Amino acid sequence: MRSLHAKLSIALFLLLLVLGVITVMLTLETSNLYLQEVQQRLQRELAEHLVEEHLLLEGGDIREGALEEIFKRLMVVNPDIEVYLLDPDGGILAYSAPPGRVVRDRVSLTAIRAFLDESQQLPILGDDPRSGDAEKIFSVAPVREDGRLAGYLYVVLASEQFDSVAQMLEGSYILRANTWMVTGSVLLALAGGVMIFMRLTRRLRDLAGEMTEFGIQTLAAEGPERDVEELTSGDEIIQLERGFRRMAGRIRSQLDELETTDRLRREFVANISHDVRTPLTHLQGYLETLMMKEDALSAEERREYLEIAINQSEQLGRMIADLFELAKLDALAEPLELETFAAAELVQDIAQEFRLAADERGISLQVEIQRETGLVKGNLGVIERVLQNLLTNALQYSRAGDAITVSVRPRGEKLRMEVADTGSGIPEDELPHIFDRFHRCSSRGAGAPDGSGLGLSIAKRALELHGSDLVCESSLGVGTRFRFDLQRLTADT
């Protein structure tokens, strides 16, 4: 019932039903009028002949014998014909109907005068004395005495036999046959219309089905379950409309994403060009200086220039490595290969790697591990890179005398890992941008090595692939805390 074909079929059925009823009613009405016209035309002069053959009034008195003779003759010819003798004003003087059946005492002269005017179109209906408001065909003739109008002989031709549609259908085989023909024509037209609608809407149904299937597979799968029900409700036009709107919205969203991606790509290329150009320029400058002033430089100066060139080369290598790492994470089409490992052991190992660098800068590096941390599920190499980047970032923004704490503690089904420092902190206006690529905060500690600006971006992307999020809390001059959660393996899992 929700399909367009069903709605069109129902609309056609109702339309044909109304047309059929109207046709039958018009047929009955026109048939009734035709029968009345024929009957009135055939018996138009009946009353006149009766008046000519019988003397109905004599000396102003009714001749009962003449009326009785007329009543008997008409009863033999047609028992349903009724005869009334009227005075010149239409008042009923005598009649042939059974006693108590006549409810009027007067007949309107308007129809009688129209009947006597032969130019009027038949049928002409006059008052039925046996009904308070009904009208029937009749024949009438004036009754004259000594050349003056003494009254009218009013003969009602139509009987009570066809007073209702049911009586007309019951009394006429032709009308019944015509009614059945109209009904059959309506049903035949309905069947033909249904088949035509099925053929005309077939391609529309196929297209709506494909659009709905596309919506279920590609659009509704991304939303709540009610969106799937919404796609399949309504007729084909509604489904196409909804599918088109969803597709148009998705296309607009994808265009916006493409524009954003293109803008980020241009910014990314610009940032790479800028960040790569700096170490390359320094590297080239010092190497050119060594070549041009090789004889004029002392051994200590040449060594110093070479160390600077090596540092710039190492910085450039780290940047390229980070770029490859980030590109690899962004382009990852398949899920990461997960494994189980002890988070406490991983934290201890990584902290040991950074302890020497922290001691050289006078920074305290501490590890806090609660008991029963157990095992976690994740990619060991990727999580190791996340912790390395977070510790590198903490060292860059800490000063001598500051402390860095790496903590691991269970939180229900998750295991929380945190890297906190008491360093310079991050300015509030820069906090929303710390995960942007190539972003470097202005509060980096003195003497900290230059980074690529990609460490936090890599860490955040790596955790997104684990279904986790990297959260940062920081206050300028107080310190910074990074935390994330991993799936913890319990006894049940």
Degrees, nearest 5: CA angle 49-118-93: 50
- List where CATH 3.30.450 sits in the chain: 44-156
Cβ(396)–Cβ(448) below 8 Å: yes
Mean pLDDT of 137-141: 90
Mean pLDDT of 66-85: 75
Average the pLDDT over each of 22-36, 384-398, 448-462 and give the range with the smallest value: 448-462
pLDDT score, position 66: 73
**Residue in the structure block whose two tokens are 């945190």:** 418
pLDDT tens digit sequence for 159-186: 444 455 555 555 566 667 777 787 888 8
Q: Cα(385)–Cα(454) distance, rounded to whole angstroms?
A: 12
> When comparing pLDDT for 330 and 285, which is higher?
285
On average, the pLDDT of the chain sits at: 78
The residue among 470, 464, 288 whose CA lies nearest residue 390 is: 470
Token pair for residue 395?
């060292």
Amino acid at 467: G
Q: How confident is the model at residue 229 (pLDDT cuts 50, 70, 90)?
A: low
pLDDT score, position 337: 79
Give the helix/strand (H/E) hosting 61.
Answer: strand 61-62
pLDDT score, position 482: 92
Q: Residue 380: CA atoms inside 13 Å, Cβ hemisphere, count?
A: 11
pLDDT score, position 160: 45
Mean pLDDT of 374-395: 87
Q: Within 10 Å of residue 155's Cβ, how many Cβ atoms?
A: 22
Mean pLDDT of 220-242: 59
- We find that the CATH architecture of domain 44-156 is 2-Layer Sandwich (3.30)
- We find that the CATH architecture of domain 339-489 is 2-Layer Sandwich (3.30)
pLDDT tens digit sequence for 236-295: 677 677 777 777 777 888 888 888 778 767 766 666 665 667 677 878 887 888 888 877
Task: Please determine, for residue 54, whether its predicted confidence score (pLDDT) is greater than 80.
Answer: no
Mean pLDDT of 104-133: 89
Torsion angles phi and psi, residue 280, rounded to 5:
-65, -40
pLDDT score, position 161: 46
Task: Please determine, for residue 215, whether its predicted confidence score (pLDDT) is greater than 80.
Answer: no
pLDDT tens digit sequence for 339-383: 888 888 889 999 999 999 899 889 999 999 887 777 888 888 888
Cβ(217)–Cβ(250) below 8 Å: no
Whether the link from the prior residue into 410 is cis, omega within 30° of 0, is no
pLDDT score, position 256: 86
Cβ(424)–Cβ(443) below 8 Å: yes
Torsion angles phi and psi, residue 404, rounded to 5:
-120, 130
The CATH T-level fold of domain 219-331 is Helix Hairpins (1.10.287)
> When comparing pLDDT for 487 and 177, which is higher?
487
Mean pLDDT of 329-341: 72
Phi/psi zone of residue 172: left (φ > 0), alpha (ψ -120 to 50 degrees), beta?
A: beta
Cβ(419)–Cβ(408) below 8 Å: no
pLDDT score, position 446: 47
- List where CATH 1.10.287.130 sits in the chain: 219-331
> When comparing pLDDT for 233 and 283, which is higher?
283
pTM of the complete model beyond 0.85: no
- List where CATH 3.30.565.10 sits in the chain: 339-489
| Length of the chain counted residue by residue | 493
Mean pLDDT of 393-403: 88
CB contact burial 215-230 (16+ within 10 A = b; e otherwise): beeebbeeeeeebbeb
Q: In a 3-state reduction of DSSP, which class is residue 127?
A: strand
pLDDT score, position 187: 83
